[in-house]
C-alpha cells in the first residue's frame, strides 16, 4: 500500500468501551461488541484495534467467523478451536445460523411485519457505501416486524431477521423502505443521522448447533438503547 493509499483512508476514533464476554466454553466465546469497534483490523495501520486483536490478546487461538459493522453493537460468536471454527463456518455458509437485530428507525412503520427483498452491490464510486442495484446486486432478503412505535418522537422499533448477510444490508433495506436507522452516517438523511450519537442497530441474539452435541443453542444480548 502506497503513502497516497494510506492518506485516502480514514483513521477511526478510538473505542474506549470494553468487550463484554457473555458466555465461555472451551471451544468458543459469546461476546457483546460495542458500537464504534471494528470486527477485524482496518487497512490503515492506525485502525488495528478490533474484536479480533483484543480477543487474541486474551485468547491466542481466537478467530473471526462473522462480523458486525463498526457502528453496530451486539452479539458475536468467537471460535477458540479449529473444530469450532470449521463447524460454525459450515453453518454460516448453509444459513443454519440465525441472527436477530433490533433497530430504531425514523417514522411510523405501518405494516406489522414484512419482507424486504432488494439486491445489494458495492457502490464503487462511493466506497465504503453499498447500494440497491437490480443489475449487479446480489440477492438480499430481510424479514422485519414492528415491535413498538413512539408517536411523540415519530420513531419505530423493529425486530430484524436477515436471511442473507450482505454488508450494510439492514441499513440499506430500511432506508429503501423509507425508514432509515437513527444515527446512520451512510444512508440516513442529515436530520435522521443527527438524532443519535450512534447507529441504533444492535445484534440481539444468535442461534446455532453446538459443534459437539449438535443441539441448537441460543444466546441473547440486551438492547442498550
Could you tell me the CATH number of the domain that includes residue 80?
3.30.2350.10
pLDDT digits (tens, 9 = 90+) for 118-145: 999 999 999 889 999 999 999 999 999 9
Which entry of 17, 69, 189, 205 is annotated as an active-site residue? 69
Q: Is 180 within the bounds of a domain?
A: yes
Query: Which residues, in sequence order, are CB contacts of 203 under 8 Å at separation 6+?
Result: 33, 68, 72, 73, 74, 75, 76, 99, 100, 101, 221
What is the separation of C-alpha 150 from the centre of its chain, rounded to a whole number of angstroms? 24
Integer CA distances (angstroms), 118 to 98, 121, 171, 224, in order: 20, 10, 12, 29
- Would residue 69 show up in a list of annotated catalytic residues for this protein? yes
C-alpha cell at 175: 432506508
Expressed as residue numbers, the domain containing 79 is 3-97
Check residue 9 and give its pLDDT: 63
pLDDT tens for the chain, residues 1 to 225: 333 333 446 889 999 999 999 999 999 999 999 999 999 999 888 999 999 999 999 999 999 999 999 999 999 999 999 999 999 999 999 999 999 999 999 999 999 999 999 999 999 999 889 999 999 999 999 999 999 999 999 999 999 999 999 999 999 999 999 999 999 999 999 999 999 999 999 999 999 999 999 999 999 999 999
Say what the pTM is.
0.93
Does residue 67 sit in the same domain as residue 149? no
Does residue 65 sit in the same domain as residue 128? no
Amino acid at each position: 500500500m502506497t503513502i497516497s493509499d494510506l492518506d485516502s483512508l480514514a483513521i477511526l476514533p478510538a473505542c474506549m468501551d470494553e468487550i463484554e464476554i457473555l458466555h465461555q466454553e472451551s471451544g468458543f466465546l459469546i461476546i457483546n461488541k460495542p458500537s464504534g469497534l471494528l470486527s477485524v483490523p482496518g487497512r490503515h495501520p492506525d485502525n488495528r484495534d478490533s474484536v479480533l486483536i483484543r480477543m487474541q490478546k486474551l485468547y491466542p487461538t481466537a478467530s473471526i467467523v462473522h462480523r458486525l459493522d463498526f457502528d453496530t453493537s451486539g452479539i458475536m460468536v468467537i471460535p477458540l478451536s479449529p473444530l469450532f471454527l470449521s463447524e460454525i463456518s459450515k453453518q454460516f455458509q448453509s444459513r443454519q445460523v440465525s441472527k436477530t437485530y433490533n433497530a430504531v428507525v425514523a417514522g411510523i412503520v405501518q405494516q406489522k411485519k414484512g419482507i424486504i427483498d432488494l439486491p445489494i452491490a458495492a457502490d464503487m464510486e462511493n466506497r465504503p457505501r453499498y447500494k440497491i442495484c437490480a443489475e449487479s446486486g446480489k440477492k438480499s432478503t430481510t424479514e422485519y416486524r414492528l415491535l413498538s412505535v413512539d408517536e411523540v418522537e415519530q420513531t419505530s422499533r423493529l425486530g430484524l431477521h436477515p436471511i442473507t448477510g450482505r454488508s450494510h444490508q439492514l441499513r440499506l433495506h430500511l432506508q429503501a423502505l423509507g425508514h432509515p436507522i437513527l444515527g446512520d452516517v451512510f444512508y440516513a438523511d442529515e436530520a435522521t443521522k443527527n438524532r443519535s450519537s450512534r447507529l441504533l442497530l444492535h445484534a440481539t441474539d444468535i442461534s446455532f448447533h453446538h459443534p459437539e452435541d449438535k443441539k441448537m443453542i441460543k444466546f441473547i444480548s440486551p438492547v442498550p438503547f
